[in-house]
Amino acid sequence: MTARSLTKTVSIDRPVEEVFAFLADPANWSKWAVVNIKSIEPTEDPDWWAMTTPMGPARLRLRADAEHGVLDHDYLDDTASWRVPARVVPNGDGAEFMITFHQPPTFSDQFFDDQIALVDTELSTLKSILEARP
């Protein structure tokens, strides 16, 4: 059985390498994922980062591959865990950031829709941060 999913995309007028490098550093995530991440810090396990979210504590593992633009990540909290596929690909002199969300079985359709709507704020924030750089 397939899960319901939605892919969000944002065009960013910065070189693809710069967009990828910013996103591949989890320390930057609380700067742009302003709705879902209140704070993030490394843990003793170099693969996992500890986050404070509006829902409570969570963990993030980023599986980045610069050569292929892969920024897949694993999310884990007390109520759910899931993988989130994400990519940074060239778009002319800039980049496209694409992120796909699969609805966890524990989420109602309405809750999933509400959460996905918040992602637009985060992608807009990401775009603003990166495009404001000199």
Token pair listed for 34: 């302003």
If you ran DSSP here, which 8-state letter would residue 96 be given? E
Confidence at residue 13, expressed as pLDDT on a 0 to 100 scale: 98
Confidence at residue 55, expressed as pLDDT on a 0 to 100 scale: 85
d(CA 42, CA 13): 29
Which domains are present in the chain? 5-21+61-131 (3.30.530.20)
Q: Which residues of the chain are modeled with pLDDT < 50?
A: none
Contacts of 16 (CB under 8 A, 6+ apart): 69, 88, 89, 90, 91, 94, 95
Confidence at residue 20, expressed as pLDDT on a 0 to 100 scale: 98
Contacts of 83 (CB under 8 A, 6+ apart): 72, 73, 74, 75, 102
Confidence at residue 79, expressed as pLDDT on a 0 to 100 scale: 79
Confidence at residue 15, expressed as pLDDT on a 0 to 100 scale: 98
